[in-house]
Amino acid sequence: MKQLQVLLVAGTHGNEINGIWLFDEWKKSSFLINTHGIKTFKVIGNPEAKKGWEKIYSS
């Protein structure tokens, strides 16, 4: 039987930062999400918007 795989995509526009913030937290502490053996792939859907968000909020 094949292992179940799930693609998780986060993105942002405007001042909505929750999705990308959550991905960053998962990277730091992978135990925060229990995948129950499901293989997950995490992708930022619009990396250019993330760069703009980082520029605004790191100032």
Q: Is residue 7 scored above 70 in pLDDT? A: yes
Q: Which residues contact residue 35 at a Cβ distance below 8 angstroms, ignoring those fewer than 6 apart?
A: 6
Q: Is residue 48 pLDDT above 90, yes or no?
A: no
How far is residue 40's CA from residue 54's CA, in Å, rounded to a whole number?
25
As a whole number of angstroms, the distance between CA 39 and CA 46 comes to 22
Element (H, E) at 54: helix 47-57
Domain boundary assignment for the chain = 5-57
What end-to-end distance do the CA atoms of the chain give, in Å? 49
Residue 5 is predicted with a pLDDT of: 93
Residue 27 to residues 1, 4, 42: CA-CA distances in angstroms? 28, 21, 9
Residue with the bigger pLDDT between 5 and 19: it is 5
41 band by pLDDT with thresholds 50, 70 and 90: confident
